[in-house]
Amino acid sequence: MDQRAQEELQKHLTHLPGWTFDGQALVREYHFPDFRTALAFVNTIADLAEITGQHPEIRIAGSRVTFACSNRITKRVSLPDIQLARQIQNAADSQDALAG
């Protein structure tokens, strides 16, 4: 990723609290009260992903859910990935998910 792209990504990350860039994707972990609540949240995001055509990588471990948003083919973060991360964040905020 070139310097300009890194600066642009960092600018977007300032508006995505708790999200980080791991070198290939925007990543965020959320904690929920229990597995059922975590799974219900994943299903909410799955519906959103189908509507937008953006599909994050999702890992579920008990009551923890980790999302990774990137283009799996190019291994880069694009504007639609940033927008999806923002939508996930908004959904988590409305469900009072705890940051990982």
For residue 56, report the phi and psi dihedrals to the nearest 5 degrees: -75, 160
- Asked whether the beta carbons of 60 and 36 are under 8 A apart, the reply is no
- Environment class of 41 (CB within 10 Å of its CB; exposed 0-12, middle 13-18, buried 19+): buried
Per-residue confidence of the chain (100 residues) as pLDDT tens digits? 678 878 888 888 999 999 999 989 999 999 999 999 999 999 999 999 999 999 999 999 999 999 999 987 887 898 999 999 999 999 998 876 665 5
DSSP state of 100: -
Q: What pTM did the predictor assign?
A: 0.89
Q: Which domains, from first to last, does the chain contain? A: 3-99 (3.30.1360.20)
For the beta carbon of residue 91, count every other beta carbon within 10 angstroms. Answer: 16
Written as six digits, the tokens of 93 are 């905020």
Q: Are 38 and 32 in contact (CB under 8 A)?
A: yes
